[in-house]
Amino acid sequence: MTTLLPFLTALADTTRLRLLHLVQEHKITAPELRVLLSIGDADLAAHLKQLVAVGLIKTGKQGAHLKIKHKHAALLARLFTHFKVGSKKDEPTRADEKKLHALRHPKPPEKPKKASAKKTAAKK
Protein backbone atom coordinates (compact mmCIF):
# COMPACT_ATOMS: atom_id res chain seq x y z
CA MET A 1 0.00 0.00 0.00
CA THR A 2 2.80 2.45 0.81
CA THR A 3 4.25 2.11 -2.72
CA LEU A 4 0.88 2.48 -4.44
CA LEU A 5 0.03 5.81 -2.83
CA PRO A 6 2.97 7.78 -4.33
CA PHE A 7 2.18 6.20 -7.72
CA LEU A 8 -1.44 7.32 -7.56
CA THR A 9 -0.43 10.73 -6.23
CA ALA A 10 1.87 11.18 -9.24
CA LEU A 11 -1.09 10.51 -11.55
CA ALA A 12 -3.35 12.94 -9.67
CA ASP A 13 -2.13 16.07 -11.47
CA THR A 14 -3.34 17.47 -14.79
CA THR A 15 0.08 18.66 -15.90
CA ARG A 16 1.71 15.30 -15.16
CA LEU A 17 -1.08 13.47 -17.00
CA ARG A 18 -0.58 15.72 -20.03
CA LEU A 19 3.18 15.18 -19.77
CA LEU A 20 2.75 11.39 -19.59
CA HIS A 21 0.38 11.40 -22.53
CA LEU A 22 2.78 13.47 -24.64
CA VAL A 23 5.65 11.15 -23.74
CA GLN A 24 3.50 8.14 -24.57
CA GLU A 25 2.54 9.48 -28.00
CA HIS A 26 5.79 11.19 -29.08
CA LYS A 27 9.54 11.14 -28.71
CA ILE A 28 9.81 14.47 -26.97
CA THR A 29 12.44 16.63 -25.35
CA ALA A 30 12.40 18.67 -22.16
CA PRO A 31 12.47 21.99 -24.06
CA GLU A 32 9.44 20.89 -26.09
CA LEU A 33 7.62 19.86 -22.90
CA ARG A 34 8.32 23.25 -21.31
CA VAL A 35 6.74 25.02 -24.27
CA LEU A 36 3.79 22.65 -24.63
CA LEU A 37 2.93 22.66 -20.94
CA SER A 38 3.69 26.39 -20.53
CA ILE A 39 5.83 25.78 -17.43
CA GLY A 40 9.30 26.81 -16.35
CA ASP A 41 12.41 24.75 -15.79
CA ALA A 42 11.85 24.33 -12.05
CA ASP A 43 8.24 23.17 -12.43
CA LEU A 44 9.15 20.73 -15.20
CA ALA A 45 12.01 19.35 -13.11
CA ALA A 46 9.68 18.85 -10.13
CA HIS A 47 7.11 17.00 -12.26
CA LEU A 48 9.78 14.83 -13.87
CA LYS A 49 11.36 14.07 -10.49
CA GLN A 50 8.04 12.83 -9.13
CA LEU A 51 7.31 10.67 -12.19
CA VAL A 52 10.82 9.19 -12.16
CA ALA A 53 10.58 8.49 -8.40
CA VAL A 54 7.52 6.27 -8.87
CA GLY A 55 8.96 4.58 -11.96
CA LEU A 56 6.54 5.93 -14.54
CA ILE A 57 9.27 7.36 -16.75
CA LYS A 58 13.01 7.37 -17.03
CA THR A 59 15.16 10.12 -18.43
CA GLY A 60 18.51 10.07 -20.13
CA LYS A 61 20.75 12.35 -22.09
CA GLN A 62 20.94 11.89 -25.84
CA GLY A 63 22.78 14.63 -27.63
CA ALA A 64 21.89 18.13 -26.46
CA HIS A 65 18.35 17.28 -25.43
CA LEU A 66 16.83 15.38 -22.58
CA LYS A 67 14.85 12.45 -23.96
CA ILE A 68 12.06 10.95 -21.95
CA LYS A 69 11.11 7.31 -22.24
CA HIS A 70 8.34 5.29 -20.70
CA LYS A 71 9.07 2.62 -18.20
CA HIS A 72 5.48 1.41 -17.96
CA ALA A 73 4.09 2.24 -21.40
CA ALA A 74 1.62 -0.65 -21.51
CA LEU A 75 0.18 0.18 -18.09
CA LEU A 76 -0.23 3.86 -18.98
CA ALA A 77 -1.79 2.99 -22.33
CA ARG A 78 -4.41 0.87 -20.58
CA LEU A 79 -5.08 3.54 -17.94
CA PHE A 80 -5.38 6.27 -20.57
CA THR A 81 -7.69 4.12 -22.71
CA HIS A 82 -9.87 3.10 -19.79
CA PHE A 83 -10.22 6.64 -18.40
CA LYS A 84 -10.25 8.26 -21.86
CA VAL A 85 -7.19 10.41 -21.10
CA GLY A 86 -5.85 11.99 -24.26
CA SER A 87 -8.73 10.97 -26.48
CA LYS A 88 -8.91 12.72 -29.83
CA LYS A 89 -12.11 14.41 -28.66
CA ASP A 90 -10.35 15.90 -25.65
CA GLU A 91 -9.74 19.63 -26.24
CA PRO A 92 -6.46 19.87 -24.24
CA THR A 93 -5.10 16.87 -26.15
CA ARG A 94 -6.00 18.40 -29.51
CA ALA A 95 -4.42 21.69 -28.43
CA ASP A 96 -1.22 19.91 -27.32
CA GLU A 97 -1.01 18.02 -30.62
CA LYS A 98 -1.53 21.20 -32.64
CA LYS A 99 1.04 23.12 -30.57
CA LEU A 100 3.61 20.32 -30.90
CA HIS A 101 3.10 20.21 -34.67
CA ALA A 102 3.57 23.99 -34.91
CA LEU A 103 6.67 23.78 -32.69
CA ARG A 104 8.26 21.05 -34.81
CA HIS A 105 7.15 22.42 -38.19
CA PRO A 106 7.26 26.21 -38.02
CA LYS A 107 5.90 28.07 -41.00
CA PRO A 108 8.55 30.02 -42.90
CA PRO A 109 8.08 33.78 -42.70
CA GLU A 110 6.03 35.14 -45.55
CA LYS A 111 7.90 37.09 -48.19
CA PRO A 112 6.55 40.58 -48.82
CA LYS A 113 4.45 40.61 -51.95
CA LYS A 114 5.76 42.72 -54.81
CA ALA A 115 3.43 45.37 -56.13
CA SER A 116 2.20 44.68 -59.59
CA ALA A 117 3.34 46.89 -62.44
CA LYS A 118 -0.20 48.29 -62.88
CA LYS A 119 -0.42 49.36 -59.22
CA THR A 120 3.03 50.97 -59.37
CA ALA A 121 2.11 52.88 -62.55
CA ALA A 122 -1.19 54.00 -61.01
CA LYS A 123 0.62 55.50 -58.00
CA LYS A 124 2.78 57.68 -60.27
Q: What is the pLDDT of residue 107?
A: 85
Each residue of 3-52: pLDDT tens digit?
889 989 999 999 999 999 888 888 888 899 999 999 999 999 999 999 98
Each residue of 54-103: pLDDT tens digit?
888 888 776 766 667 777 888 888 888 888 777 767 788 889 999 999 99
Pairing verdict, β 65-70 and 57-62: antiparallel
- The SS3 call for residue 83 is coil
Q: What is the mean pLDDT of residues 99-115?
A: 84
Residue 36 CA to residue 52 CA, distance in Å, equals 20
Residues 6 or more apart whose Cβ sits within 8 Å of residue 71? 55, 56, 57, 58
Query: What global pTM score does this model have?
Result: 0.76
Contact present, 33 and 103 (Cβ < 8 Å): no
Instruction: Name all domains of the chain by residue range, CATH numbers in brackets.
Output: 4-108 (1.10.10.10)
